[in-house]
Amino acid sequence: MTFWNDPINLISEWLRGIFMGWGMAANLAMVITNIIGIFVIILFAMAIAIFLVWVERKVVARFQDRLGPNRIGPFGLFQPFADIVKLIIKEDITPEGADKLIFNMAPVISLASVILIWAVVPLASQIYGVDINVAVLYLVAAGAFGTLSVIMAGWSSNNKYALIGAFRMVATMISYEIPMVVALLIPTIIAGTMSLKEISNAQNGIWFAFLSPLGLLLFVISAIAELGRSPFDLNEAESEIVAGFHIEYTGMKFGLFYAGELLHAFTFGGFMAVFFFGGYGGFFGLEKLAAFSWLSNPFIQMVVFLIKALIGYWVIMWIKYSMPRIRIDHMLAFNWKFLTPLAFVLLMMTALLDKLLAPTNFYVSGMFISNLLFAWIVIEILRSRSKQERAHDIEHAEPVELAAHH
Amino acid sequence: MTPDQVIFILCAAVIVVTAIMVVTSPNLIHAALWLIATLFGVAILYALLQAGFLALVQVVIYIGAIAILFIFAVMLTRREMRDKGPQLNKNWALAAILAVLTFGGLFYILSGWSGFSGKAAEIPAGMDTLRNLGFALVSPDAYLLPFEVASILLLAALIGAIYIASASKK
Amino acid sequence: MSTETIIWLLPLPPLLAFFIIILFTNKGKSLSHCIAVIAAALSWLGSMVVFVRALGVEHFGKEVFQSSINWLPTGNTWLKIGVLIDPLSAITIFFVAWTVLMIFVYSVGYHNYGQPKGDHDRKGLPPHGATIIDENGHSHTVPSIEPMYSRFFAFIGLFAFGMYTLVVSDNLLTMFVGWEIMGLCSYLLIGFWFGKPSARNAAVKAFMTTRIGDVFMLLGIAFVYYATKSLSFRDILNEHTLSVLSSTTTPILGLSAAGLISLLLFIGTIGKSAQFPLHVWLPDAMEGPTPVSAMIHAATMVSAGVYTVIRMFPLISAGFDGYHLTTTMSIIAFIGAFTALFAATIAVAQNDIKRVLAYSTISQLGFMIAALGMGAYVAAVFHLVTHAFFKALLFLGSGSVIHGMEHGVLHTGDHSVDPQDMFNMGGLRKKMPITFWTFLIGGFALSGFPVLTAGFWSKDEILADAFGNGHFVIFLTLAIAAFLTAFYTMRQITLTFLGTPRTKSAEHAHETPWTMTLPLVILSVFAIGFGWVGIPDKFPLLGGILPNWFHEFVGGTLAEAPEVLPFNFMPLLTSLVVALGGLLVGWFVYRNVRSAAEDKLQFKLLKNKYYFDEIYDLLFVKPAYWFAETFAYKFLDQTIIDGFINRIGGVAQSIGTGFRRYFDAPVVNGFGDFLGESTKRIGRKMAPIIQRGRIQYYMVTSLTVAIIVVVLYFFFKA
Amino acid sequence: MSIPLSWYLILSAALFSIGLFGVLARKNAVAILLGIELMLNAVNINLVSFWRYGNIASISGQVFAIIVFAVAAAEVAVGLALIISVYRRRTTVIANDLDLLKW
């Protein structure tokens, strides 16, 4: 065990040794080490969040043909710190009639729900908070707190726009949770485990994105909806309800929501990497070659993971800044009438094929082709449906009253 | 006192206090939020009992779905929230006595039971209770039928809830 | 696929067909019948595979196909359900599969598939016919398609599911489930044309009557479970359990537990298989469409009753030493024999072509029951199988006849002609040749036409068993019944097919489509051929040419194979005489019965024989009529049975009146009124206090009471 | 595992009693349902702790708990739907105002 191939354990052993050297009980030393570990993870996540503020602003600027922050630091890299200072010194307003405790707790829970997830994110084969065998479920559970924070913020603000925004957001999150969970079950089924580390390892040979491209698509769509980002950003539709559930928040409280959202998006980018792109590994067996054995180094793996996550995050941003907003009823109908059934059929198909094809040589190609086939069928059905609807619309179209000719 | 016991006592305190807040809080939204705290405490208890799966299911289902549903229901019937009067009915004192009696009775009966202060065995190494649970739920020799019946129940509840709550067409 | 898997899947296709048709394809007629027929064909295919594989197993009675799963946790044990195919159920599944498939195919034609929609047909009424205009501008009335075509196929699908479930079950519980599903379906199907009040009443009657039997059967099942802690046949019917059961005594009639259980189960059979005195529903059940009659009477439901008794035979015969019948067996034998004769006499006096067959069915089931009561296990199974084939054939044939007649009725437009009355028919031989020949084969099989037909071999075996075991009374009764059987069968054939048409409608009768005649042809093959698998080894000339395969195969079901009786000429002679005699007499008596015999040449030619007819009429027909009409129907059925019931009712009524006048009104009512009034008064006073309609008060109250009770319990226990 | 079973049982009895109080004493029907949730959770604590302290190999306790989850979800869905439906008609969710069925 050296620092290079197992840094976390080495440090924690070392710390524990120090504490026990101070005369602490083994139990207590363990607890304190763990608490330090928790803080490290939180700090790491927060540091990423700060970095993300810069990334987001820079990328959106490029999408919108602007330069973005470029004054403070090289490439405006220190802009986030300036932002933080600004947020902190702003007046902290709690509106009249707000439910103070809940109002103040909501942003904390919002950020906490994201940071909770980081406990299970496998940054590398040896760098992770905890490897639990129900990690996939843990993600969903942590997401539940996100929902909670939204409704708390919306309700306690004593503002109708906030409440409407919260309702929309919660409706979206609860609805899209279903296809998302189902999409998460697909890698679970293929890997045969819910542990994120195991899922990552299972993709050393082939990424699940190739085994289940449709699952990936489902996951991306429902993840974006879960994040409440455009095109699913009904919760903060500026033109309708001003800013949604966080309308009344100012200063650092808003900052927490903002950081939480960015970090959440990045985290989902990370999950895309973990579930479908091999996580920290997934070099298609390359790391087994002696020349590439350095790929198994935890630090390299961490860098690989973060790059993959950033790419995922970039895709989410890309969609956010190029799509218009969808109407709320369309969005819920899209979920319940299309995405959810699709997800369930896909799940059953995957489960079945996984069992049937596993012993054969056509596993990869079979899964891939079946996904394509399924997608094709769905598109055909959609096409015929829309044709019918168009025909129906034309048939029942109200004749337009033309202005009378004089 | 071991860390386990500390955690348990903290949890138990949270559970009991928040549960009391649930049943006494005059504001229903607060009650629902307190309920969430209670349920979270219970989830930690499950984790303490080494039933990690149940702990997470508890969070997903209770906090993610049931509690949110409660908050929705309270908001949809929000005229009641403006009732600043007492949220307890007239015989709350009798109810309190009954509740205390129930607790006392349960305690009395339990304390007479031989296994009352039993200790838990260590979970044998290599036993994956999650795997066991999964197999139990889908094995015809175990609980496949109850599991399926539960799914039917949920379906029926889903349809029933939609039907009951949908606005009556006149 | 393993055989066990196939057996599990056997009942599935018809059930799926039921749900698919009911839920999705109700609108599509051809789709519906395709689904139903394909489902029946799948089950048929599976059954054949199972049957063939069963044939390939040596000592199949010892090695059976069996598989079971845990179903319901009951404390520490499981209630298991499963499937079992032993020789008995293998043979049953064989004929069930065939007849069911045939009936499904037949139904397509019977309900006028391919015909236009009726002019004024309504759901719940039989189709009235449609008017079509051909290319020449003439308008014709032709049969119209059944308005509830898809529903019919759904129902018979469910019915088939019930039957398959019953047969493949390895335990009383699922068997009972299948049994009750069939009960439901018979209700739905008999009342299929619910627009007709008679059909409605018949459906209710069938349902209620069989329900009486079912209640007792359920009691029997409960008793079995109580006594043996299991419902599985393999558990109940092993020697150890049986000896325990037969040595346990019960307080009822001094019967052993085995005796009481089998008696209770047998009462279920009485209801289902329409034995005396619960036979009343079956003739009325003819109100349903004919494929239904065939389903109910031949292939499935009534067979199910007999099948159950046969299945429980080891239990019934527990304590049977081979010669002295146990109480239960005596009862069973008596009821069977009596029903056989009793129903046969009634059949003689019926004019409705289907009703004759209905009574005939009752009578033939009586044969089986009687055989079983005497311990003639193999003979009973044999007759069950052959009867299923030829009776299905006869019912479907009669349906075909009625269909042809309806065609004629529609053609002539004379709606006063009842297409089911045999005296309106005659001469159909030429109009409907396929129906005639197949019906003839079926009829001869029913009468036990010697050597050639299946009915002869099975009936002969019953008679031989009765004679060989020394049950002479039963033998005599059954012999007379067999004679009457042959007689009324020939009467039916003569009236329907022979001679010349008696009405215009009969003249314009028409052969039915291939979907109806094909099943007839196939079934007639079985009606002849199936007897040959059970020819006794010692039979003169023929014995030994074909091995007595049936006896060995089915006999293997029992723990100890039943012994083969020594051959005796007496029963053979008897069955020859009664079969041929009955047929001859029937033909002689009825060949010239018609209203107008203007043809003088024929009249002269037949004069002498007509003289014989008088004698026969006096000697046989009149007494038979008298017996049927006056004794069996008026005296026995109406005076004694009904009178007895009425008398009981009357006595009960007068007792009731007395009670009412002298006890009820002053004492009971006075007290009751007082109690009621005071309760009401108290209630009025208490209602605002106790009954507030407030849930939480109720909860508080009940919880208070509960706590008080618990406290008291612990207080007094301490 | 140094916690005796009795701790869990007492906690669950307490939670049950608190829930019971809520059911009996709260005016608002939604609050009554909240109380019921507490009681169900108390039951679940018992089930899981009996599993942990009894035969671990037999997974019954956890299975029962899962079924209780399902039942609780169904109960809340239907219960709240009923409450909303009642509220639409009667504009009240006070349980004791709903007393039309007394005769």
* Cα–Cα distance measured from residue C113 to residue C616, given in angstroms and rounded to the nearest whole number: 45
Shortest alpha-carbon distance between residue C79 and chain B (Å): 11
- Residue numbers of the domain that contains D28: 5-93
B104 to chain C, any CB pair closer than 8 A? The answer is: no
Contact flag A155-B71 (C-beta cutoff 8 Å): yes
Chains D and B touch (3+ CB pairs under 8 A): yes
| The amino acid at A104 | N
Whether residue B66 is found in the same domain as residue B141: no
* Cα–Cα distance measured from residue A391 to residue A378, given in angstroms and rounded to the nearest whole number: 20
Q: Which of B83, B114, B146 is the last residue of a domain?
A: B83
In the stretch 67-96 of chain D, residues with CB closer than 8 A to chain B read: 67, 69-78, 80-85, 87-88, 91-96
A163 to chain B, any CB pair closer than 8 A? The answer is: yes
Task: State the total domains in chain D.
Answer: 1
B36 to chain A, any CB pair closer than 8 A? The answer is: yes
Of A288, A101, A301, the closest CA to residue A205 belongs to A288
- H/E element holding C142? strand C139-142
* Cα–Cα distance measured from residue C447 to residue C459, given in angstroms and rounded to the nearest whole number: 9
B6 to chain A, any CB pair closer than 8 A? The answer is: no
Write down the pTM of the prediction.
0.59
Contact flag A174-B64 (C-beta cutoff 8 Å): yes
Residue by residue, DSSP assigns C5-33 as HHHHHTTHHHHHHHHHHHHT-TT-HHHHH
Structure token digits, residue C551? 């006896």
* Cα–Cα distance measured from residue D98 to residue C694, given in angstroms and rounded to the nearest whole number: 7
Contact flag B98-C70 (C-beta cutoff 8 Å): no
Residues in Cβ contact with B82 at an 8 Å cutoff, skipping those fewer than 6 apart: none
Residue by residue, DSSP assigns D5-49 as HHHHHHHHHHHHHHHHHHHHHBSBHHHHHHHHHHHHHHHHHHHHH
* Cα–Cα distance measured from residue C283 to residue C361, given in angstroms and rounded to the nearest whole number: 9
Report if residue D9 sits inside a domain.
yes
Higher pLDDT: D100 or C93? It is: C93
Residue by residue, DSSP assigns C613-635 as HHHHIIIIIHHHHHIIIIIIIII
Shortest alpha-carbon distance between residue A49 and chain B (Å): 25
On average, the pLDDT of chain C sits at 77
Does residue A228 carry a pLDDT above 80? no
* Cα–Cα distance measured from residue C48 to residue C44, given in angstroms and rounded to the nearest whole number: 6
What length does chain D have? 103
Contact flag D3-B5 (C-beta cutoff 8 Å): yes
On average, the pLDDT of chain A sits at 83
Contact flag B4-D92 (C-beta cutoff 8 Å): no
What is the reported pLDDT for C559? 62
Q: How many CA atoms lie within 13 A of A237 on its CB side?
A: 20
What is the reported pLDDT for C405? 81
Contact flag C714-B108 (C-beta cutoff 8 Å): yes
Calculate Rg over the CA atoms of chain D.
17
* Cα–Cα distance measured from residue A219 to residue A180, given in angstroms and rounded to the nearest whole number: 6
Whether residue B11 is found in the same domain as residue B66: yes
* Cα–Cα distance measured from residue A131 to residue C501, given in angstroms and rounded to the nearest whole number: 91
Does residue C333 carry a pLDDT above 90? no
Contact flag D20-B46 (C-beta cutoff 8 Å): no
- What percentage of residues in chain C have a pLDDT greater than 90? 0
Lowest mean pLDDT among A348-352, B165-169, C707-711: B165-169
Report if residue D36 sits inside a domain.
yes
Higher pLDDT: C38 or B81? It is: C38
Task: State the total domains in chain B.
Answer: 2
Contact list in B for residue D51 (CB cut-off 8 A) is 49, 51
Chains B and C touch (3+ CB pairs under 8 A): yes
Contact list in D for residue B71 (CB cut-off 8 A) is none
* Cα–Cα distance measured from residue B52 to residue B37, given in angstroms and rounded to the nearest whole number: 18
Q: How confident is the model at residue C679 (pLDDT cuts 50, 70, 90)?
A: confident
Whether residue B134 is found in the same domain as residue B79: no
pLDDT tens, position by position, B117-138:
777 777 777 777 888 888 888 8
pLDDT tens, position by position, A248-257:
888 888 888 8
pLDDT tens, position by position, C422-476:
777 777 777 788 888 888 888 888 888 777 777 788 888 888 888 877 778 888 8
pLDDT tens, position by position, D27-84:
888 888 888 989 999 999 988 888 888 877 778 888 888 888 888 888 888 888 888 8
Q: How confident is the model at residue B17 (pLDDT cuts 50, 70, 90)?
A: very high
Contact flag C699-D23 (C-beta cutoff 8 Å): yes
Whether residue B77 is found in the same domain as residue B134: no
- For residue C692, the chain D residue with the least C-alpha distance is D102
Report if residue B88 sits inside a domain.
no
Contact list in C for residue D102 (CB cut-off 8 A) is 687, 691-693
What is the reported pLDDT for C51? 86
**Which chains does C contact via 3+ CB–CB distances below 8 A?**
B, D
CATH number at B15 reads 1.20.120.1200
| The amino acid at D97 | D
Mutate to test the interface with C, among D17, D21, D99 (most CBs of C within 10 A): D99
- For residue C700, the chain D residue with the least C-alpha distance is D24
| The amino acid at C299 | A
Of C609, C684, C653, C345, the closest CA to residue C483 belongs to C345
Shortest alpha-carbon distance between residue D2 and chain C (Å): 32
Residue A213's Cα: distance from chain center in Å?
18
Of C555, C545, C544, C548, the closest CA to residue C531 belongs to C548
Structure token digits, residue D82? 């009923």
CATH number at D82 reads 1.10.287.3510
Does residue C613 carry a pLDDT above 50? no
B98 to chain C, any CB pair closer than 8 A? The answer is: yes
- For residue C698, the chain D residue with the least C-alpha distance is D24
Contact flag D76-B150 (C-beta cutoff 8 Å): no
Q: How confident is the model at residue C615 (pLDDT cuts 50, 70, 90)?
A: very low
User: What's the Cα-to-Cα distance from C3 to each of A256, C39, C67, rounded to whole Å?
Assistant: 66, 19, 10
Report if residue B94 sits inside a domain.
no
* Cα–Cα distance measured from residue C215 to residue C221, given in angstroms and rounded to the nearest whole number: 10
- Residue numbers of the domain that contains B138: 130-170
Q: Are strands A127-128 and A122-124 parallel, antiparallel or unpaired?
A: antiparallel
Residue C392 in contact with residue C298, Cβ under 8 Å?
Answer: yes
Report if residue B93 sits inside a domain.
no
Shortest alpha-carbon distance between residue C361 and chain B (Å): 42
Does residue B99 carry a pLDDT above 90? no
Contact flag D56-B95 (C-beta cutoff 8 Å): no
Q: Taking residues C514-543, what's their average pLDDT?
A: 76
pLDDT tens, position by position, A116-148:
888 888 888 878 878 888 888 888 888 888 888
Picking from D23, D24, D99, the nearest residue to C692 by CB comes out as D99
Q: DSSP class of residue B62?
A: I
What is the reported pLDDT for B161? 85
* Cα–Cα distance measured from residue C444 to residue C454, given in angstroms and rounded to the nearest whole number: 9
Mutate to test the interface with D, among B53, B54, B116, B135 (most CBs of D within 10 A): B54
Shortest alpha-carbon distance between residue D7 and chain C (Å): 24
Q: Taking residues A174-195, what's their average pLDDT?
A: 87
Does residue C631 carry a pLDDT above 90? no
Q: DSSP class of residue C558?
A: S
D99 to chain C, any CB pair closer than 8 A? The answer is: yes
Report if residue B19 sits inside a domain.
yes
Does residue C595 carry a pLDDT above 60? no
Across chain A, which distance is largest between two alpha carbons, in Å?
102
pLDDT tens, position by position, A70-111:
888 788 788 888 888 888 888 877 888 777 888 888 888 888
Higher pLDDT: C139 or C709? It is: C709
Chains A and C touch (3+ CB pairs under 8 A): no
Residue A165 in contact with residue A244, Cβ under 8 Å?
Answer: yes
Q: Taking residues C479-506, what's their average pLDDT?
A: 80
What is the reported pLDDT for C605? 35
Lowest mean pLDDT among B50-59, B80-89, C77-86: B80-89
* Cα–Cα distance measured from residue A81 to residue A192, given in angstroms and rounded to the nearest whole number: 43
Does residue A38 carry a pLDDT above 80? yes
CA dihedral A230, A235, A241, A247 (to 10 degrees): -110
Contact flag D78-B79 (C-beta cutoff 8 Å): no
Q: Name the β-bridge partners of C83.
A: C67, C169
Report if residue D100 sits inside a domain.
no
Out of C59-73, C115-129, C212-226, the most confident range is C212-226
B7 to chain D, any CB pair closer than 8 A? The answer is: no
User: What's the Cα-to-Cα distance from C695 to each of A223, B99, D20, D29, D77, rounded to whole Å?
Assistant: 44, 17, 14, 10, 20
Does residue B102 carry a pLDDT above 70? yes
Is C557 exposed, middle or buried, given 0-12, 13-18 or 19+ CB atoms closer than 10 A?
buried
Is C325 exposed, middle or buried, given 0-12, 13-18 or 19+ CB atoms closer than 10 A?
buried
Contact list in C for residue D16 (CB cut-off 8 A) is none
What is the reported pLDDT for C611? 42
Contact list in C for residue B95 (CB cut-off 8 A) is 696, 700
B56 to chain A, any CB pair closer than 8 A? The answer is: yes
